[in-house]
Amino acid sequence: MTSWQLQASNDMKKWVILDKRDFSSEQPSGVQCWGIRADTQKVYPDGFTAFRVQQVTANSRARHNLSITSFELFGTPVNSELWYF
């Protein structure tokens, strides 16, 4: 995948971009780790209940299929009563 966005929502209708990456000139290899802006909790103190990764452009094979081997979010749930485990 050459370009993607990590998005979050509380209603699954309005999505907020938490992070975006554009690798049109070079592709990362191996395990990658990225952080989210430090002020995110100040701007959105109630946190989010849904997350998605959206592919913005075609992948390195000029296709629009998305393949993720592993995806992890770290942090502390703000409103744990809203989370379904």
Helical ranges in the chain per DSSP H: 40-43
Neighbours of 4 (CB within 10 A): 19
State the pLDDT confidence band at 82, using cuts at 50, 70 and 90: low
**Dihedrals φ, ψ of 40, to 5°?**
-60, -45
Range of the structural domain that residue 18 is part of: 1-85
Do residues 73 and 51 make contact, with C-beta atoms less than 8 angstroms apart?
yes
Residue-wise pLDDT tens digits, 3-45: 888 999 988 999 999 988 887 556 666 677 777 877 777 888 8
CA–CA distance, 7 with 19 (Å, rounded to integer):
7
Strand pairing class (16-22; 3-9): antiparallel
Structural domains of the chain, count: 1
